[in-house]
């Protein structure tokens, strides 16, 4: 969300991997479930394109069928 | 910069002290890359992150040995001849040099880092490799020394997580990109909530 808020669209995490295990010194990466990631995004062509992405962030998440009484 | 100060003060840290600690850690990675850190470095790390052998061929060892990334920006999309690239937190220059070869003599790469020892290594490596399309500038990710809408691509590798003000860093990335420009980033994802007490430990920020 922070990436979209900063002025981007089409945010996507494409890869994640434990890149800290086996490092020479022990650290706290495992304590927090820390993974290496790759992500990409794109600067929109227009303000309108960005505003549409912001609007999509604010959409309501529909209830799952099991939650409907 | 006021936003930075507020964010860092929120967790009880001083911005200058935090940046100094991060610089000290990465000066050590520049000067003593074999010392052993709580992250992997160098050629073994590049293999772990699926860097292709053809990308590393001809990249001076000085740039490779101090590599400390967490991902692979080049796996996220092709960098084309003639393009302009900004590498944020370029360190000893491995990704800047790979990008320089991809953009060729018609393209340009600007590597930005806050640590002089890393920039010195990067400049020497670029000279050794004979790459004239890359330059290195000292600066912070939250205040990039790059003109508005200069770049076709912004890359960064294991650096956004070190920035005291990540929102400002992301906004700077957007500022320097042309419309429709691409962001290709390696970084970290923390899956468990980090308690306030841990956020106050400078050594957790520096790695």
From first to last of its 207 residues, what are the pLDDT tens digits of chain B? 334 444 666 667 788 888 998 999 999 999 999 998 989 999 999 999 999 999 999 999 999 999 999 999 999 999 999 999 999 999 999 999 999 999 999 999 999 999 999 999 999 999 999 999 999 999 999 999 999 999 999 999 999 999 989 999 999 999 999 999 999 999 999 888 877 777 777 667 665
Answer whether B39 sits within 8 Å of A27, measured CB to CB.
yes
Cβ-Cβ contacts under 8 Å, B167 against chain A = 2, 5-6
Answer whether A8 sits within 8 Å of B174, measured CB to CB.
yes
Nearest CA in chain A to B191: A33
Q: Which of A7, A41, A42, A45 to mutate to test the interface with B (most CBs of B within 10 A)?
A: A41
Which ipTM was obtained for this model?
Answer: 0.90
Closest CB from A34, A41, A44 relative to B188:
A34
A52 sits in which H/E element = helix A47-57
How far away is chain B from the Cα of A49, in angstroms, using its nearest Cα? 10
């Amino acid at each position: 969300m922070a990436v979209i808020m900063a002025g981007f669209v089409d945010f996507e995490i494409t890869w994640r991997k434990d890149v800290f295990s086996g490092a020479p010194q022990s650290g706290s990466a495992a304590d927090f479930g820390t993974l290496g990631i790759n992500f990409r995004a794109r600067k929109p062509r227009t303000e309108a394109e960005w505003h549409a992405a912001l609007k999509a962030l604010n959409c309501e998440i529909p209830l799952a069928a099991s939650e409907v009484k | 910069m006021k936003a930075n100060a507020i964010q860092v003060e929120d967790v009880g840290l001083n911005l200058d002290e935090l940046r100094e600690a991060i610089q000290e850690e990465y000066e050590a990675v520049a000067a003593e890359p074999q010392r052993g850190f709580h992250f992997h470095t160098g050629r073994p790390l590049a293999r772990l992150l699926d860097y292709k052998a053809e990308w590393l061929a001809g990249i001076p060892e000085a740039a490779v040995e101090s590599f400390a990334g967490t991902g692979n920006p080049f796996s996220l999309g092709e960098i084309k001849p003639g393009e302009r690239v900004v590498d944020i937190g370029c360190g000893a220059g491995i990704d800047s040099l790979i990008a320089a070869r991809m953009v060729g003599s018609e393209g340009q790469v600007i590597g930005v880092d806050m640590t002089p020892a890393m920039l010195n290594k990067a400049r020497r490596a670029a000279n050794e490799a004979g790459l004239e399309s890359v330059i290195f500038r000292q600066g912070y990710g939250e205040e990039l020394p790059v003109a508005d809408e200069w770049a076709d691509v912004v890359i960064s590798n294991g650096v956004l997580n070190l920035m005291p003000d990540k929102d400002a860093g992301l906004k700077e990335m957007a500022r320097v990109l042309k419309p429709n420009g691409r962001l290709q980033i390696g970084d970290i994802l923390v899956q468990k909530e980090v308690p306030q007490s841990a956020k106050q430990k400078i050594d957790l920020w520096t790695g």
